[in-house]
A = this chain, B = another copy of it.
């Protein structure tokens, strides 16, 4: 199985899986659970950046992003503000955003990305 590399694998999931030159990251949420969408989004993106580095890649090589927001009416603008400032200029991934209730009530945003390695 040397063609699949798993990172931080527990009983439930791996935090990242690399196969065929693509890194798939698990859905990432904020560690802090601030009630502020901007703070949660910043923390999510910081954690994604660290995970991409572990995979041997970085945000300039993102392929796709799925963004789940708990309150899209209230928080879409705030999430986008932080997201837009974070994206590597000229290297934005594809993106799709939906409103979903997430695993815990205090999670305001969860982001799932893939990147080329």
Interface residues of A (CB under 8 A from B): 1, 3-4, 6, 9-17, 19-22, 24-27, 60-61, 63-66, 68, 72-73, 76, 80, 83-84, 87, 89-103, 105, 110, 112, 114, 116
A92-B9, A98-B68 given as contacts; is B4 within 8 A of A63 (CB)?
yes
- Can you name 8 A-B pairs with beta carbons within 8 Å? A4-B91, A14-B94, A20-B20, A27-B94, A27-B96, A97-B103, A98-B102, A99-B101
- Residues of B near A105 (CB, < 8 A) are 73
Residue of B1, B25, B95 touching A94 (CB-CB under 8 A)? B25
Using A22-B19, A72-B102 as known contacts, say yes or no to A12 and B80 having CB atoms under 8 A apart.
Answer: yes
